[in-house]
Structure 1
Amino acid sequence: MRARKIQRGISLLGLLFWAVIIGGGSVILLRVVPTVMEYYTIQRAIDKIAKDGPSTVAAARDSFERTKQIEYSIVSIEPKDLNITKVDDKVKITFAYDKEVPLFGPAFLLIKYKGESH
């Protein structure tokens, strides 16, 4: 008697399943990455502004507006959306915003971003 050879591999349905999972994950990732990059750009901008220690709230907002004009990727937040306070003689800037990422058809992914100067 000959021993049966055990076949190994992936079935067509298994291959299609993993293709859909990887493809869907890739589409979501490609749509989310630009919003994450924008968040980190905003974070770097407010850290720099807070470190420079603007004398007034208006000066801090003007500085952010100048940064926004240079950094074309900042589109989700305006200077008026920044909360600027002084804590222990240091400028503290906080911000928060929501970003809707269209996925397909009527489906969206809502991401809530929140940050503060360090």
Structure 2
Amino acid sequence: MKLRQQQSGMSLLGMLCVAIMIGFFVMCLLKMGPSYFEYLSVKEIMSKVSAEYKSDQTSIADIRRRIANLLNTNQIYGLKPQDVEVFRKEGKTYIDASYEVRIPVMWRIDAMFKFDDLKFEAGRPEPLPPTP
């Protein structure tokens, strides 16, 4: 009795399923990538504005104006300047630029990014640690 050796591999249906999955993930990456890169720009802008703060010279209105100018210059559309909170608490000035982005993926499926690590104390370029 002679055994027949066969090579087996993926069928056409298997390759089609793999191609569909790869295509779905590439589509998601292409739709979600710009929002993530925009978040990185916002984080850099808020860090820059916070580092430029001088308590004796800069007012809250100056901070808001600087944020609006930088968001406009960098063409940031996911965050409006009026959505950024600038406030004083216990003698310190804080900048809170936390926001969410909802991206339609397909049909009724949406992806949602929550960028809540954009809280800065004016005068310090690094964000505040998250509060539990």
**TM-score, normalization by structure 2:** 0.77
Unaligned runs of 5+ in 1: none
Q: Sequence identity of aligned pairs in percent? A: 24
What CA deviation, in whole Å up to 9, does each residue of 1:57-105 have, x standing for no partner?
A: 1111100111122101x11212222233468977542222121111122
Partner of 2:129: none
Count of paired positions: 117
- CA RMSD, Structure 1 to Structure 2 (Å): 2.1
Which has a greater percent of helix? 1
Equivalent residues in 2 for 1:5-84, closer than 5 Å: 5-54=5-54, 55-72=58-75, 74-84=76-86
State yes or no: 1:95 paired with 2:97: yes
Runs of 4 or more, structure 1, over 6 Å off, are 87-90
Question: How far apart in 2 are the matches of 1:21 and 1:71?
Answer: 34
Which has a greater percent of strand? 1
Unaligned runs of 5+ in 2: 121-125, 127-132
Question: How far apart in 2 are the matches of 1:90 and 1:30?
Answer: 40
Native 8 Å contact 1:65 1:79 kept in 2: yes
Q: Choose 27-36 or 92-101, whichever is displaced more.
A: 92-101
Native 8 Å contact 1:53 1:91 kept in 2: no
Query: Which SS does the other structure have where 1:43 is aligned?
Result: helix
Partner of 1:113: 115
